[in-house]
Chain A
């Protein structure tokens, strides 16, 4: 399923602070 670039970026940032 295609995810938006903004969501993928948010996940990437989320991982960093998670």
Chain B
């Protein structure tokens, strides 16, 4: 394994930066991950933040993590075209070591609202995803990766996710961000063991690992259980550090381990202290598993041959189903209402396999969709 870098998700957020500052003063942060598309409302990025990005960029220690691209939208959107142009400009200004995005399609009519939810794993969605990944590569000319999803509707989806990711990434020779809190959500919400789950992921494609915290949510659909949600608003639970210990040595091409927490979870001095402690605990695990003498600078995840992108791949039936699903999730007053609407929708008896969806995860999808449409 090459030298692994301990990193933080660092965005233009006073609380995040204040939490990171003590670590920066001690020169502990070895790389930063920046959500380059999340500043769409900021007219001008402050010079000092640009200097921070440039400092890491000059050392090839800056990685970009997109939020809003909506990889699996069935329709090719003008906003996606603009997103790529923005990425191309940003990649010309900063030297990203790699670029990543989220798996899924975004609910919500507004490009900058909504949450990424799962899609059916079909030839049509595979072709759309591959097409979009090629376009991301063409825009940035850097290795491209995808993050495993925290949310699934069914155990069947959970078990097929790793293999589908591998198929998606193959043409661009891309990599996986293995988000261990996302994995933790799946383990908890579907009662699957770590050993069974990790065996379903192509760990030789993992170049980056995320760790973060989250929250528990009650469920009316399953009153006897709590739903684990990937809200990034709390400290890293011991179980996720344990997952890091169990996973890190199994990823031969791992280069970055990133601690993520949102600014709204870093308001108090106590929360900032916990963030510092979490980083030190992560750093120690990384140090134990990193080969400090292996400064391999090769890029094992660049495309192996030239990529051809013609007209954008689209599937308007899929797009209409995505709109229909978004509308149901965003407007249903309860999970029972959502389930009834789904059974009457064009998603019934289709590749979406809604008949397998767990009621408590439909309930969670309603909550997520309604949280982000505001």
Interchain pairs with CB closer than 8 A, number:
45
1/0 per residue, CB under 8 A from A, across B1-19: the answer is 0000000000011100110
B59 proximity list for chain A (CB < 8 A): 1
Given the complex, which residues of A lie within 8 Å of B110, measured CB to CB?
none
Known: A3-B55, A7-B52, A8-B25. A14 touches B17 (CB 8 A): yes
Taking a contact as CB atoms under 8 Å apart, the answer to whether A1 and B21 are in contact is no
Interface contact A1-B29, CB-CB below 8 Å: yes
- In the assembled complex, the CB of A11 is this many whole angstroms from the nearest CB of chain B, namely 6
The reply to whether A14 and B48 contact each other, CB–CB distance below 8 Å, is yes
Q: Is the interface of A mostly helix, strand, loop or mixed?
A: helix
Residues of chain A from 1 to 18 with CB closer than 8 A to chain B in the complex? 1-4, 7-8, 10-15, 18
With contact pairs A1-B30, A14-B48, A15-B14 given, residues A7 and B55 touching in the complex (Cβ less than 8 Å): yes
Specify which chain A residues have a CB less than 8 angstroms from the CB of B55 in the assembled complex.
Answer: 1, 3-4, 7
Interface string of B102-144 (1 = CB under 8 A from A): 0000000000000000000000000000000000000000000
Residues of B within 8 A of A7 (CB): 48, 51-52, 55
Q: Assign chain B's interface to a size class.
A: 20 to 34
Task: Compute how far the CA of A2 lies from the CA of B59 in the bound complex, rounded to whole angstroms.
Answer: 11
| B360 interface residue per 8 A CB criterion | no
B121 to chain A, nearest CB (A): 39
- Asked if B21 and A8 make an inter-chain contact with CB atoms under 8 angstroms apart, the answer reads yes
B216 within 8 Å of A (CB atoms): no
Assess A10 versus B48: contact at CB under 8 Å? Given A1-B59, A18-B14: yes
- In whole Å, how far is A4's beta carbon from the nearest beta carbon of chain B? 8
A11 touches B27 (CB 8 A): no
Question: Judging by beta carbons under 8 Å apart, are A1 and B27 in contact?
Answer: yes
Can you spell out 12 A-B residue pairs with CB atoms less than 8 angstroms apart? A1-B31, A2-B27, A3-B24, A4-B55, A7-B55, A8-B25, A10-B48, A10-B51, A11-B48, A11-B49, A14-B48, A18-B13
The 4 tightest CB contacts between A and B, nearest first, are A10-B48, A18-B14, A2-B27, A14-B48
